Amino acid sequence: MKIFQQNIFGGEDEIITTIPVIVLKHRNKEGRYLANGIDCTDWSDPDGDVTMEDIENAFIIVRDDRSKPDLTDVQKLRAESAAYKKYMIERYGEDAIINFDVERWLVDYDPINIDMPVEKFNLACEENGWEPVKTY
């Protein structure tokens, strides 16, 4: 599938076939990535991690402007996660169940940049309630 991004400043239109994202790759398992949630889990893997074949089910970090994310985006996510964790502990105590714990994730996973095919990205958008990339 080809997607044309119109250049409103008079230059050539750009053909987009991939979207740059960050996924979390498992350090000890080749080709396995953190799933986006329990409903996206690959049940054939003991940790529920997904493969590149089902990368639309991975936890992804993407920028709204579709530019390439970097470690500053990971740091923002870490800060958001830390604030959430603090709130949950204040509200529910030390025994609070906290699944959105990026610090814990980064013990076993490394953030890596990939170019996700537009078709798979749009499936991820559908799953997450995001605006998909328009195709013409």
Q: What is the pLDDT of residues 71-83, one digit of tens each?
A: 999 999 999 999 9
Rounded CA-CA distance 65/57 in Å is: 21
Rounded CA-CA distance 27/80 in Å is: 23
Specify the higher pLDDT residue, 133 or 107.
Answer: 107
Contact (CB, 8 A) for 119 and 79: no
Mean pLDDT value across residues 42-59: 96
Contact (CB, 8 A) for 26 and 48: no
Is the confidence at residue 109, as pLDDT, over 60? yes
Specify the higher pLDDT residue, 89 or 133.
Answer: 89
